[in-house]
Every structure is written in structure tokens, then in C-alpha cells.
Chains A and B, each alone.
Chain A
Amino acid sequence: MSIGGSDLDRAITQLRACRPIPENQVRELCYKARELLIEEGNVVGVDAPVTICGDIHGQFHDLMELFRVGGDVPDTNYLFMGDFVDRGFYSLESFLLLLCLKVRYPDRITLIRGNHESRQITTVYGFYDECLRKYGSANVWRYCCEVFDYLALGALVSGAATALEPTDGPIADNVTVDLPDPEQDIEIETLNANGEVMFRYARNGDSQSSATSQGNSNAASSSPVGPTPSRSGAAGTGATSSVNGSARNDTGAILCVHGGLSPLIDSIDKIRLLDRKQEVPHEGAMCDLLWSDPDEIDGWGLSPRGAGFLFGADIVKCFNYKNDLSLIARAHQLVMEGFKEMFDSTIVTVWSAPNYCYRCGNVAAILELGEDGSNAGFVRRSNGDRAGGGRGWILGSNAGPNGTSNEENRRLSSVLGESMQRPRDGPGRRYRVFEAAPQDSRGMPAKKPVADYFL
């Protein structure tokens, strides 16, 4: 048989109900997917608007919740940053559904590779066992692994707007923070699963303060912080000053990658040159992109995971500057609040598996980037303090660690030069936060979660 057209739609319907499709259909689907993926570069170009998602890990019911919260395919464009499989009970259904959607709507959905899309890791963390259990043989696992080898290593999102289109969602009940003036441009907005606004943060563009910082590398440390104490977490530093106070509404591109950076990669073009069509190696650039983590260190560090590296703010800022990026979006690390911005909002971790492993109690998030041009008449106002995205800003706390670090700014100015302290404005970022779907939902088979504890 061949999977295409109505067969494909049937398969999608079946998978949406969390029912696996027959082995021969999987084979056909994987073949089609490979044909499609082989045409993609190592770094896929993606145009905004797009919704960026982190780890899924076989939590099928939560993937359905993600689509409910974020909009369905093909109405919403999605970019999944890998780790579709392992740990959860429905890796197979989750991955095959995403793959079906990819084949059905290739321009609407982008899948890149995570460190779990690997033969070695899936034999330890569950996907292999799941395939064996559901099909009685390892064939389906093998087909899927062949697809893994063709998944892109990263994606580059361009055309994202600097300011969010305001949502008309109501304000969530428990929000006590003053929301910014509706006239102001929205840089960050957090919505709950019902579309209610939990947090909104204005981008207070200020030509004056950025002009000051231009001629004075120390201006960064002396520039005012957020306008109200409740927003001090998003304390701006010179590091996120806007450029020259000129009216501009474009933003640098956003690099999406599962893990992070590699000491062997200093430009996106170097990622493009890798030979990706292989099992994830134990070391080297490809391995690092899928395994590394940002950390509060200087430069590079050894990763406790045994693969990849740790990298500090200086590495990220340098990489973003050199590659004209405004943001790196990555997944790979569980964050209890669903997302976490670090290093003056130059990198964000997005985590999309709520109550990870049915044990961690975390919420999940997806990141929506709007399309540029929606506010073409945008003119930056000079209305006071410049307060860009914060350092280590996370949902819920609204408080970043320690505010501005003069020392870091000094260090950066010595390492990177003063111009490096003023990276591009980040894109407007709308985070939708959601909780786990109940496991006993009707109409979908669900194994009772049995999370291991020490007993």
C-alpha cells in the first residue's frame, strides 16, 4: 500500500486517537518522511509566525493538550525541538503523529533532532521496548531510527516581530502585577492554558539611554532597571539596549536547537557543513548541538551528562552577535515553570512535557513568535526607562537572580568589546503555559502512570 492522501488522513485520525497504525503503514510513512527530510538542510529556514515547542517525551495526551492550547496543525505553524520519544508511555503514537503531520503539511511543521532521537538512547529510555511491546518486533523502531538520522539539527526562524500583537484574552484571576499601558509594545506575554494573561511585559525602548550606552561601556551597569519593583526581575541592562534609537521593527533571527552550542561551532554556516545523516555521535559538533546546556559559568565547561558541554553567557552573546541572532531557543532541560530565559534573554529553554515522567509536577510551555510587518508603522518611543528582557527571568517568580551584575558587564566589555553589550532586540515572545492532561481521558487508551520512587 502507499500512504498518501486519504490514507494519510486516516492514519492521522487513528493516531490522534492514540492508536498505533499498522507496521506496513509505518514503513511507508517513514520512507515518505525520509524523502522529505533529506531535502532539508542541517539548519532549516522557518518563517515567523511559528510556535516553538520543547521536549515531548512520549506524553501523547499532553501533546494533544499542547495542540489544544497552541492551535491545531495546519492552522498554527509548529517547530518541535526534538526529544519526541522515550520516558512517556506513548512515544510511538506521539512521534508517528508528528511525522504524519510533517508529511501531510511539510511547510507547517518543522521537526529537529533531539538527543533522544538516537538508537543508543532509545534502547535505554523506553522507545525501543515500547515498539517491541506494541508490534512484537523491532522493525518499527528501526524504521523510526532511520528517520531520526535525517532530522535537521537546527532551525533558523526569521521575520519575527519585535512586539507582540496584543491578545484580547482576559486577565487571569490571580494576577496582581500591574500590566503595562496598552499603548506600549509588548515584549513578553505569558498566557495560561485558557488564554488568560498571567504576565505582560512592555518593551520600553529608549533612544536616549541606548545613545548613552553607546559611548560608554559602563553605561550598561548604571542604566536604570525595570520601572516598577514588581518587574525588577526583568531588570534591563545595557546588554539589551535597542540599536541607536532608530525606528526598526525587525529582529535578528532565532536559532532553534535541541541542546545548545558547541566549542567546534562558531557560526551557523559551520552547522550547515556537518554530515548529519548518521547516529548521534558520542562527541563532536553534532553531539554537542544535541547535548549541551547553558550554565552560569565563564566560557566552556564539562557537562555532567557525559556528552556535550556547558556554556556561559559570554559564549551565547558572542555567538548571537557574530551570527546576527537575537535569541537562541533550546529545549533539553526540565524547567519547572515551562520556560526559562537566561543571559539577558539571549537564550531560552522551552520545555513542553508537563508533569514530566508523571512525577516531576512541572508545568509546560510553548513559545509563540509573531510575524513581522504586523506593526510596520511601529516607532520606538522615548518614554523612559529601557527595560529589556531580564536575566534569568522565569514565570511565577517575576524575579531574576541578583539583578544586574556589574562584574559581568565589566567582564563582557573586556572580553567582547563594548558593541557586544548591545545585541539585537529579541523578538516579542508569547509563552503559553499548560498543565498535564488527565491520564484517564475517555476515548484514549491510557496506562495508569506508575512513577518509580525509592520505597
Chain B
Amino acid sequence: MDNNQIPNLKTLLGRGRGGGLRGRARGGYGSSTQGDEAVRDNAVRGTDQDAAGSRVSCVEFGYLDDPYAKFFATQSSTRRLPLLNRGTYVRTSAIDQLVDHFLTTPTSTQKQIISLGAGTDTRYFRLRDKYPNEPLVYHEIDFATNTTAKLQSIRRHPSLQDRIGDSHFALKPTADSYHSASYNIHALDLRSLTTSSPPPLENLSPTLPTLILSEMCLIYLHPTTVSGILNRLLTHYVSPRTPASLVLYEPIFPHDAFGRTMISNLSTRNIHLPTLTAYPGLVDQRARLRQYGFGDGCRAADTKFIWRVWVSEEEKERVAGLEMLDELEELELLLRHYCVAWGWRDGEGEGEDVFSRAWSEVREQDGG
């Protein structure tokens, strides 16, 4: 075949993608119909099983030690490529490190963690094993479909109930919430926190030093909605004088070739990342944390930096030995496009300056 007989596939581009673009244009923010929004919310809820599968893959290959991950995953195939395992490992262990520093910093009071969009996350169960004597109040907030599924998994597996320390875990199968002195699952749409009459969050202490976690959660919301949610959490649910902090894990750099491809790929799955373009780099992430009122520290690092600097040499060697990794350039590309950003206020009340003490030694990345 002469090469000019080979069809130029690009000529098909306009037609093929035009429909998609029109579809998106109709569903733009602000003008989105109820139906579009429901589709998006569903897609966001679905990301939780994606994360659960990735976690199981990491556990099966020995990256992470998490005996609870398998109880929550429903995907039939959870095997992930080595580079994704490595990325999930870096993400999970980075946040673990920040949480560990927080929990091991002595205070006279209990501590509180609020995990936004927690989904199937197993952190509470792992922390119970790691710090059995640490008085901790743990809150998870997610859509009711996700919390219901989580509670059903807990009901099915006695080892999970054991960790909750509740021998009378006799909830109705349809229950979407759970409350105890140490573990709370709240079924609600985060956006409802910004309404004029915000719903009560049971057992949430306004005075305990509070760490808020957002692992790929707030990224799915509009920047002003995010500000509103955090404002409510940091001034209404938690007193403005209480030491508080926020740890974010999310993608960065939407404007380069990889970032543009990510946005376009995810949009075909109905997943949109509104804050990504609002806070494209590490500098923007730090500035945003300051805006939320974290006056005592605003830091950020991409996950490539975190792998290089936060992970010890022995641990790097152990992880590198788990699987042969042929995707080095791709891994680097991927790791440079996700970051952990953490900001804190020391507050005035009990547990004052716990975050400054906890995180003063945690290195961030320059610039960015």
C-alpha cells in the first residue's frame, strides 16, 4: 500500500470528538442540570473503589501492610502496574507519616481526625493497631452510598468490628452512619456543610486538636465550595481557637502535556477536577492553605520529592525490590503530578502548638 493511501486518522478527530465537546459545554459549571450533576457525583463515588483496588494491589505485592484493605474492595481484578503500586505506596506512606507525627506529639488532650471523602479508607483501623492506647476521636464523612457499603463490610468482618471495640455492632443493614466515642461515620454530602443550617456532626469536638484529611476529595469540588466547607469546619464545627490543620493529597500541573491528558482522560469518565486549575502548582497550594487561615505553617511537596526525601534508603531498597519496575520515566512523570500539601494553625487552647511541634522537621519542597 502506498503511504498516501493510509488514511489520515486525524481527519476523523473533529467529528469524533465534536459530540463530546458539545456535551461538555452543555454541562458547564453553574449551568449544569440535575442529571449532569448526578452523573458526576456517581463518578466521584466510583473513584472510591478505584482507590480500594489500588490499596489491595499494594498490599498483595507487599508495598503496604494493611490487613483491612481486602475487606473493602469489590473490584474483581485489583492487580495494578508496578508504577501505580509505587505511587499508591508513596501517597499512603506520606500521609501516614504526617499523621504519625501528629499522633506521637505529646499533648494533654485527646486528638481528633476528620477524614473527608474517606470512602473505604482503612486508616482508622490501622491507627487503632498502631496506637492502641492513643485516645483518638476519628470521623469519616462521605456520601451515604459509600458509608452504607463501608458499614456493611464492617458488619461482615468480625476483625473490623473488633477494632472498633464494639461488641454490639448491631446496626440495621441499611444504616449509613455509625457513632461511638472513638469512631464516627457520617453519611452526608460535604456540600451540605456550607448551607445556612449545617447538619450536626455527632461527637465532633470543637476543642480537640484536629487534623483534617483530604485524599483526592476536595479536588472534585468547586474552589468556592471548598473554601466554604473548610470555613465551616474550621470556625463552626471546630472552634476558631482550636489547633487545626489540613492535609491535602491531589494532582498538580494541569497545563503541561501530561496534565492536559489527565484532565481529558478523566473527563471521559465524568470525573472533573475543578480545584486543579485553581491551584496548579505547589506555590498555589501553599497560598491556598494560608487563605484557609493556616497561619502557622503552609507546606507542600510533590510525591517525587516525597519518595526521594521522606522515604529512608533501606525502605526505598525494600520497595524497589518488590517488583521490577520498567516504567521509570512514566513513574517520575506521574509522581511529579501529585502533591501533598499541609497547613496548620497552632491555636490557643489545649494542645496548643501541637502541629508546629509535630511537623517542624517535616521537609517540604522548595519553590514549585
Q: A-side interface residues toward B, CB under 8 Å? A: 16, 61, 64-65, 67-68, 70-72, 75-76, 115-116, 120-121, 124-125, 193, 304-307, 333-336, 355-362, 435, 437-438, 440-443, 448-455
The answer to whether the Cβ of B8 comes within 8 Å of any Cβ in the partner chain is yes
- What 1/0 mask marks residues of chain B from 262 to 294 whose CB sits below 8 Å from any chain A CB? 100110110100000000000000000000000
Most interface-central of B12, B80, B259, B265 (chain A CB within 10 A): B265
**Residue of chain A at shortest CB distance from B250:** A454
**Do B326 and A455 touch across chains, with their CB atoms under 8 A apart?**
no
B366 CB, nearest partner CB in chain A, Å: 20
Does B324 lie within 8 Å of A306, measured CB to CB? yes
Q: Which residue of B lies closest to A64 (CB)?
A: B6
- Could you give 24 example pairs across A and B, Cβ below 8 Å? A64-B6, A64-B9, A72-B6, A75-B2, A116-B326, A121-B324, A121-B326, A125-B81, A305-B326, A305-B328, A306-B321, A306-B325, A307-B324, A336-B257, A355-B261, A359-B262, A360-B257, A361-B258, A362-B257, A437-B9, A438-B9, A440-B12, A450-B269, A455-B50
Instruction: Report the separation of the CA atoms of residues A64 and B9 in the bound assembly, to the nearest whole angstrom.
Output: 9
Do A454 and B88 have beta carbons less than 8 Å apart?
Answer: yes
Instruction: List the B side residues contacting A356 at CB < 8 Å.
Output: 330
- Cβ of B339 to closest chain A Cβ, rounded Å: 11
| Chain B residues positioned under 8 Å from A357 (CB to CB) | 330
Task: Name the distance in Å between A292's Cβ and chain B's nearest Cβ.
Answer: 12
Instruction: Indicate if the CB atoms of B320 and A360 lie closer than 8 Å.
Output: no
A-facing mask of B47-86, CB < 8 A → 1, else 0?
1001100100000000000000000000000001110100
Inter-chain contacts of A16 with B (CB < 8 A): 1
A-facing mask of B86-120, CB < 8 A → 1, else 0? 01100100000000000000000000000000000
What are the 7 closest A-B residue pairs judged by CB atoms, nearest first? A361-B257, A455-B47, A361-B261, A334-B329, A72-B3, A437-B9, A68-B6
**Distance between Cα atoms of A360 and B328 in the complex (Å):** 12
**Do residues B8 and A361 form an inter-chain contact, with CB atoms below 8 A?**
no
Which of B3, B216, B271 sits near A71, CB closer than 8 Å?
B3
Additional 7 contacts, C-beta under 8 A, given A333-B329, A360-B261, A455-B216: A120-B324, A124-B81, A124-B324, A125-B81, A438-B9, A454-B87, A455-B50
Q: Cα distance A87–B333 when bound, in Å?
A: 16
Which residue of chain A is the closest to B13 with respect to CB atoms?
Answer: A438
- Report yes or no: A67 in contact with B6, Cβ–Cβ below 8 A: yes
B10 within 8 A of A: yes
Shortest Cβ distance from A293 into B: residue: B328
Q: Which residues of B contact A115 (CB under 8 A)?
A: 326
Number of interface residues of B (CB under 8 A): 49
The reply to whether the CB of B16 lies closer than 8 angstroms to some CB of chain A is yes
Decide if B8 touches A455 in the complex (CB within 8 Å): no
Task: Tell me whether A72 and B1 are in contact (CB under 8 A).
Answer: yes
The smallest beta-carbon distance between B227 and chain A, in angstroms, is: 23
Q: How many A-B residue pairs have CB under 8 A?
A: 124
- B3 near A76: Cβ-Cβ < 8 Å: yes
B26 within 8 A of A: no
Q: How far is the CB of A119 from chain B (nearest CB, A)?
A: 13
Q: Is the CB of A438 within 8 A of B3?
A: no
On B, residues with C-beta under 8 Å from A are: 1-3, 5-10, 12-13, 16-17, 47, 50-51, 54, 80-82, 84, 87-88, 91, 216, 251, 256-262, 265-266, 268-269, 271, 320-321, 323-326, 328-330, 333, 338
Closest CB of chain A to B7's CB: distance in Å?
Answer: 8
Considering the complex, give the chain A residue whose CB is closest to the CB of B261. Answer: A361
Say yes or no: A124 contacts B82, CB within 8 Å: yes
Q: Which of B17, B265, B326, B328 contacts A449 (CB 8 A)?
A: B265
Instruction: Name which of B3, B13, B88, B271 has the most chain A CB atoms within 10 A of its CB.
Output: B3
Which of A336, A356, A359, A455: most chain B CB closer than 10 A?
A455
Residues of B within 8 A of A450 (CB): 265, 269
Closest Cβ–Cβ distance, residue A365 to chain B (whole Å)? 14
Q: How far is the CB of B120 from chain A (nearest CB, A)?
A: 12
Contact of B10 among A76, A438, A454, A455 (CB under 8 A): A438
In angstroms, Cα B324 to Cα A25, docked, is 33
Complex-state Cα separation, A90 to B339, whole angstroms:
33
Residue contact A359 to B88, C-beta cutoff 8 Å: no
Decide: A360 and B2 in contact? CB cutoff 8 A.
Answer: no
A448 CB contacts on chain B under 8 angstroms: 268
B16 touches A438 (CB 8 A): yes
A residues in contact with B10, CB < 8 Å: 65, 193, 435, 437-438
Q: How far is the CB of B106 from chain A (nearest CB, A)?
A: 33
Q: Which residue of A lies closest to B3 (CB)?
A: A72
Separation of A115 and B268 alpha carbons in the complex (Å): 32
Question: Min CB distance, B45 to chain A, in Å?
Answer: 11
Q: Indicate which residue in A61, A334, A449 contacts B330 across the interface (CB closer than 8 Å).
A: A334
CB distance from A200 to the nearest CB of B (A): 23
Contacts of B265 in A (CB 8 A): 358-359, 449-451, 453
* Residues on B with beta carbons closer than 8 Å to the beta carbon of A193: 10
Select A67's contact among B3, B82, B216, beta carbons within 8 Å.
B3
**Given the complex, which residues of B lie within 8 Å of A440, measured CB to CB?**
12, 16-17
B335 smallest CB distance to A (angstroms): 10
Assembled-state Cα–Cα distance A294/B303 (Å): 25
Say yes or no: A65-B84 contact (C-beta < 8 A), given A72-B3, A307-B324, A454-B216.
Answer: no
Q: Distance in Å from the Cβ of B3 to the closest Cβ of chain A?
A: 4
Which residues of chain B are near A125, meaning CB under 8 Å?
A: 81, 326
Residues on A with C-beta less than 8 A from B50 are 452, 455
Contact of A65 with B330 at beta-carbon distance under 8 Å, contacts A306-B325, A358-B265 already known: no
A68 to B1, CA, bound (A): 10
Q: How far is the CA of A336 from the CA of B259 in the complex (A)?
A: 13
Nearest-CB distance from B146 to chain A (Å)? Answer: 13
Complex CA distance for A333 and B216, rounded to whole angstroms? 30
- Residues A452 and B333 in contact in the complex (CB < 8 Å), given A304-B320, A306-B324: no
**Chain A: CB-nearest residue to B77:** A129
Residues of B within 8 A of A336 (CB): 257
What CA separation (Å) do A68 and B3 show in the bound complex? 5
Cβ contacts under 8 Å, B47 to chain A: 455
**Residues of chain B contacted by A124 (CB below 8 angstroms):** 81-82, 323-324
**Do the beta carbons of A454 and B338 come within 8 Å of each other?**
yes
Could you tell me the distance between the alpha carbons of A435 and B257 in the complex, rounded to whole angstroms?
12
Q: Which residues of A contact B326 (CB under 8 A)?
A: 115-116, 121, 125, 305
Of the candidates B1, B3, B9, B88, which one forms a contact with A441 in the assembled complex, judged by CB atoms under 8 Å apart? B9
Contact A438-B328, Cβ < 8 Å, known A360-B257, A452-B80, A455-B271: no
Question: Taking the nearest CB of chain A, how far is it from the CB of B284, in angstroms?
Answer: 19
Q: Do A442 and B12 touch across chains, with their CB atoms under 8 A apart?
A: yes
Complex alpha-carbon distance, A306 and B1, angstroms: 42
A306 to B54: give the CA distance in the assembly, Å: 23
Complex CA distance for A75 and B7, rounded to whole angstroms = 17
Give the chain B neighbours of A307 by CB distance below 8 A.
324
Q: How far is the CA of A434 from the CA of B76 in the complex (A)?
A: 37
- How far, in angstroms, from A159 to B7 measured CA to CA in the complex? 32
Closest to B5 in A: A72
Contacts of B266 in A (CB 8 A): 453
